[in-house]
């Protein structure tokens, strides 16, 4: 869960 360094998709970062 990287909320600070979210790539292109904010939901994708939450998934990872």
Alpha-carbon distance of 5 to 12, in angstroms, equals: 11
Alpha-carbon distance of 2 to 4, in angstroms, equals: 5
Give how far Cα 11 sits from Cα of 2, 4, 5, Å. 10, 13, 12
Using the predicted structure, report yes or no on whether residue 16 has a pLDDT greater than 60. no
What is residue 4's predicted lDDT score, i.e. its pLDDT? 64
**Token representation of residue 14:** 């939450």
Alpha helix (H) residue ranges in 1-16? 10-15
**Residue 6 confidence class, pLDDT cut points 50, 70, 90:** low
Q: Collapse the DSSP code of 15 into the 3-class scheme (helix H, G, I; strand E, B; otherwise coil) and give the result.
A: helix
What is residue 15's predicted lDDT score, i.e. its pLDDT? 53
Alpha-carbon distance of 1 to 7, in angstroms, equals: 11
């Amino acid at each position: 869960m990287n909320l600070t360094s979210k790539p292109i998709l904010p939901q994708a970062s939450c998934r990872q």
